[in-house]
């Protein structure tokens, strides 16, 4: 580039500036460094670029005056990074700071497909072009809900692969999406985990799944905001103590009613010798399994049927179940996932075993009807439970009046081929 200038203090100055190289202007203060860079080269580069557009377009472009120069040849487009502190706002971008944003708007208005209209339609500072959600600022406030799962086992992979839990999460996620909320899912094992999460994120509230009584007593006071617990059974004494803490709610299945329904269905089909299978639990401690276990015993007594304590099995006793199959004709299993594992185990032992044994599960998860035989189960609609828990939590967050601290959802019998009548 060749330049000859009379601009300000730059009298009778001629120079050549090489392209595609870094050139440094250095001298004492007041010698004209800024004049040659900003008032001469930059001004002329901007003016020449503007001259490439039609008169209408130039109305929307920055204005540049002609510097006092005798000659400038082979001048390229210039982008200025000046010495001034960037004083931008929330709406400032690289495009606005370098003034290239206006050029892009003109470019888009001419060539974009489909076109939004005139150049102003491509500006986030103009109502016709700004985002309707963030109003041109480029960010939105996310309402965040914490979904915490306290597992009774150490294997966290099971927590998120368990079909029941997956459907609960799906119900929450669908409602959250529809109402503009985001869900952060986390497996936690201690009060310190909860404290850490609350330090790092701002939550509207929490939905907590799988908390046992011991965990509840340790963790309940750690939460800063409202909490809805799913399938957390507490004693009447503990619930009375929580009556003044109205930002704690419980969404549970009426597990006693559901288990009673399951046992009575087997009895209706002529079964009198009925076993019970569940995951391990603490006897006497309020829990989902405790409720179902108690209903199982009470229903057998109600119908004056035989109860044998060794017909109570846990999830590690499949082999013992197989060895004792001749003692009973039906078995109540406290979850469809566990029922599926049992059926697979027994059929590997004897392909025809299910012709003699009736089995009923809980939950009615997706694959229950796909099993062979199709599983009779008590539908608990975990997705709906998650959706209800979400709306209960939002009600708490908005300080709406909540009438019932504990919400009990009834189970529904789904009859399929895995239960057959005694001949």
The H or E element spanning position 206 is strand 205-209
Query: Residue 361: exposed, middle, or buried by beta-carbon count in 10 A (0-12, 13-18, 19+)?
Result: buried
Number of H helices, E strands in the chain: 15, 15
Which domains does the chain possess? Answer: 2-73 (no CATH), 143-253+384-408 (3.40.50.2300), 255-380+410-414 (3.40.50.2300)
Q: How far apart are CA 291 and CA 310, in angstroms?
A: 19
Residue-level pLDDT at 390: 95
For 247, how many CA atoms within 13 A lie in the half-sphere containing its CB?
A: 16
Residue-level pLDDT at 343: 97
Residue-level pLDDT at 214: 81
Residue whose C-alpha is closest to residue 385's, from 159, 142, 174 = 174
User: Is the C-alpha dihedral spanning 360, 269, 272, 327 positive or negative?
Assistant: negative
Residue-level pLDDT at 59: 81
Question: pTM value?
Answer: 0.63
Contact 361, 276 (CB under 8 A): no
Residue-level pLDDT at 167: 87
User: Any residues with CB less than 8 A from the CB of 132 and at least 6 apart, and which?
Assistant: none
Q: How far apart are CA 418 and CA 422, in angstroms?
A: 13
Q: How far apart are CA 219 and CA 174, in angstroms?
A: 27
Contact 326, 306 (CB under 8 A): no
DSSP 310: G
Tokens 């892009």 found at: 104
Beta bridge partners of 183: 145
Q: How far apart are CA 56 and CA 31, in angstroms?
A: 39
Q: Are strands 358-363 and 406-409 parallel, antiparallel or unpaired?
A: unpaired
Contact 119, 105 (CB under 8 A): yes
Residue-level pLDDT at 4: 65
Q: At what angle do helices 336-349 and 163-178 cross, to 10 degrees?
A: 150
Residue whose C-alpha is closest to residue 248's, from 422, 50, 405, 387 = 405
Residue whose C-alpha is closest to residue 3's, from 18, 15, 20 = 15
Alpha helices in 209-270 (DSSP H): 213-219, 236-241, 255-268
Residue-level pLDDT at 5: 65
Q: How far apart are CA 53 and CA 49, in angstroms?
A: 8
Residue-level pLDDT at 140: 55
Token pair recorded at residue 332: 């109540």
pLDDT tens series, the chain, 423 aa? 566 666 666 677 788 888 888 888 888 887 778 788 888 888 888 888 888 888 888 888 888 888 878 788 888 888 777 666 666 666 677 777 777 888 888 888 888 888 878 888 877 777 777 766 566 666 555 688 999 887 644 444 555 567 778 888 899 999 998 888 999 888 888 888 899 889 888 898 999 987 888 888 888 889 988 999 999 888 888 888 777 667 889 999 999 999 999 999 999 999 999 999 998 877 778 889 999 999 999 999 999 999 999 999 999 999 999 999 999 999 999 999 999 999 999 999 999 999 999 999 999 988 899 999 999 999 998 899 999 999 999 999 888 887 788 899 999 999 999 999 987
Token pair recorded at residue 150: 């306290």
Token pair recorded at residue 379: 């539908």
User: Any residues with CB less than 8 A from the CB of 388 and at least 6 apart, and which?
Assistant: 251, 407, 409
Q: How far apart are CA 103 and CA 52, in angstroms?
A: 12
Beta bridge partners of 361: 377
């Amino acid at each position: 580039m060749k330049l000859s200038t009379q601009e300000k203090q730059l009298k009778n100055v001629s120079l050549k500036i090489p392209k595609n190289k870094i050139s440094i202007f250095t001298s004492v203060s007041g010698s004209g460094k800024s004049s040659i860079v900003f008032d001469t080269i930059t001004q002329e580069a901007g003016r020449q670029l503007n001259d490439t557009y039609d008169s209408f377009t130039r109305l929307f472009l920055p204005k540049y005056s002609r510097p006092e120069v005798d000659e400038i040849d082979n001048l390229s487009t210039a982008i200025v990074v000046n010495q001034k502190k960037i004083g931008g706002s929330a709406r400032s971008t690289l495009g606005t700071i370098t003034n290239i944003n206006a050029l892009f708007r003109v470019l888009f208005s001419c060539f974009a497909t489909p076109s939004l209209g005139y150049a102003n339609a491509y500006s986030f500072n103009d109502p016709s072009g700004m985002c309707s959600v963030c109003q041109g600022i480029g960010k939105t406030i996310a309402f965040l809900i914490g979904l915490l799962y306290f597992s009774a086992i150490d294997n966290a992979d099971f927590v998120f692969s368990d079909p029941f839990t997956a459907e609960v999460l799906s119900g929450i996620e669908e409602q959250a999406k529809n109402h503009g909320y985001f869900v952060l899912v986390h497996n936690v094992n201690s009060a310190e985990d909860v404290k850490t999460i609350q330090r790092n994120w701002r939550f509207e509230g929490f939905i907590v799944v799988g908390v046992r009584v011991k965990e509840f007593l340790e963790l309940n006071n750690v939460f800063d905001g409202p909490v809805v617990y799913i399938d957390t059974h507490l004693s009447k004494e503990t619930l009375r103590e929580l009556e003044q803490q109205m930002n704690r709610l419980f969404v549970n299945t009426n597990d006693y009613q559901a288990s009673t329904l399951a046992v009575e269905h087997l009895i209706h089909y002529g079964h009198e010798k009925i076993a019970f299978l569940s995951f391990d639990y603490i006897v006497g401690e309020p829990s989902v399994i405790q409720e179902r276990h108690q209903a199982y015993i009470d229903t057998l007594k109600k119908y004056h049927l035989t109860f044998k304590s060794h017909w109570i099995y846990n999830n590690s006793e499949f082999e013992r179940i197989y060895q004792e199959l001749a003692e009973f004709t039906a078995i109540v299993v406290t979850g469809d996932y566990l029922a599926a594992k049992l059926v697979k185990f027994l059929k590997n032992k004897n392909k025809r075993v299910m012709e003699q044994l009736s089995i009923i599960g809980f939950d009615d998860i997706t694959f229950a009807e796909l099993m062979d035989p199709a599983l009779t189960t008590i539908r608990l609609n975990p997705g709906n439970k998650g959706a209800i828990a979400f709306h209960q939590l939002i009600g708490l967050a908005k300080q709406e009046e909540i009438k019932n601290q504990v919400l009990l959802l009834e189970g529904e019998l789904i009859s399929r081929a895995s239960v057959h009548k005694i001949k």
